[in-house]
Amino acid sequence: MSTWPNSEIQKATPERTAEIRESLTEIRGRVSRAVEALGSVSNIPKLVAVSKYKPSADILVCYELGQRDFGENYVQELVDKAKELPIEIQWHFIGTLQSNKAKLLASIPNLHTVQTISSEKTVNALHKALPSDRIAPLNVLVQINTSGEDAKSGIQPLASSSSSSLGQLSDLQRLAKHIVMSCPKLRLQGLMTIGALDLSLSANETEKNADFERLTETRDILERWLQAELVPEEADKNQVRRWGDESTGKLLLSMGMSSDFEAALKAGSDIVRVGTGIFGSRKTRDKLKEPGAPVS
């Protein structure tokens, strides 16, 4: 880890600095207003600034405004940025995780959460790769494919109406149980989804986003099941919470991006992931395949 402040990071220009400050302030304001509109809420939702493809200088502008949670999609890009940026940053990995990249990802000391867990294979690779002297368990969120689109990864949501055949665990239950029972270096913190962008919502704000509702319902079902199935044997024994938020024990929901985070907060989101709204539009990956461009 380099010493801080790191003089090698080029500072953002005054214009860029002003631009990012303004956007971050605006997004924070919109988050606060969405939360206020909900009435009393016990938890303030977490804003993760999604900084993929954006230079470390941009991240520093947000950091200086107190932003600590940042999201990245590509392992190598995250490793490079984590090396040169302050250790106080809490990194969220939000890209597709291949098990052969788990070791590299797990080597980041201030990796805070991996939001995109969708198979036992990647869970095991990640768990195995984590240093045994890691102080806090690594938070993981299981990614749910709420919109059922082939292009999106994640596992099937649960629904109270579709009773599974007796004694048969769903993929999500099986994976959750595996994380809680067999991966002591991980904490099953909650669920994450992308969902289909519901364009009808802007026209009619009172309508609900079906994918966000599905994630909420899936969380409620899973939480009840975990409490009934696993508490007596596992969680109470050593007083360590094996799932949910560190302080409340509730399973958290990560949903909502630049275009739909207000709808997500209305549906009960605990973590919103905003990129474009803070840093502006991104170049496509093809345009970035130049020397020095992040590839993974």
Ligand X SMILES: *Cc1c(COP(=O)(O)O)cnc(C)c1O
Minimum distance from residue 226 beta carbon to ligand X (Å)? 24
For the bound state, the minimum distance from the C-beta of residue 270 to ligand X, rounded and expressed in Å, comes to 14
Shortest Å, Cβ 83 to ligand X = 22
Residue 8's CB is within 10 A of a number of other CB atoms, namely: 8
Q: How far apart are CA 215 and CA 269, in angstroms?
A: 9
DSSP 149-203: -TTS--B----SSSPPPTTPPPHHHHHHHHHHHH-TTEEEEEEE------THHHH
Residue whose beta carbon is closest to ligand X: 275
- Nearest approach in angstroms of CB 96 to ligand X is 9
Nearer CB in complex with ligand X: 152/250: 152
45 vs 277, beta carbon nearer ligand X: 277
Which is closer to ligand X, CB of 243 or CB of 261?
Answer: 261
What's the gap between Cα 69 and its chain centre?
Answer: 10
CB of 1 vs ligand X, minimal distance in Å:
26
Q: Which is nearer to ligand X, 268 or 277 (CB)?
A: 277
Q: Tokens 């214009």 belong to which residue?
A: 15
Sign of the alpha-carbon dihedral angle for 247, 248, 249, 254: negative
If the CB atoms of residues 126 and 180 are measured against ligand X, the closer one turns out to be 126
Residue 253 and residue 269 in contact, taking contact as beta carbons nearer than 8 Å: yes
Which structure tokens are listed for 24? 């971050």
Task: Give me the residues that bind ligand X (CB under 6 A), please.
Answer: 50, 52, 73, 94, 194, 257-259, 273-277
- Which of 247, 263, 278, 274 shows the shortest CA–CA distance to 94? 274
Q: How far is the CB of 109 from ligand X (least distance, A)?
A: 23
Cα dihedral sign for 294, 122, 84, 70? positive
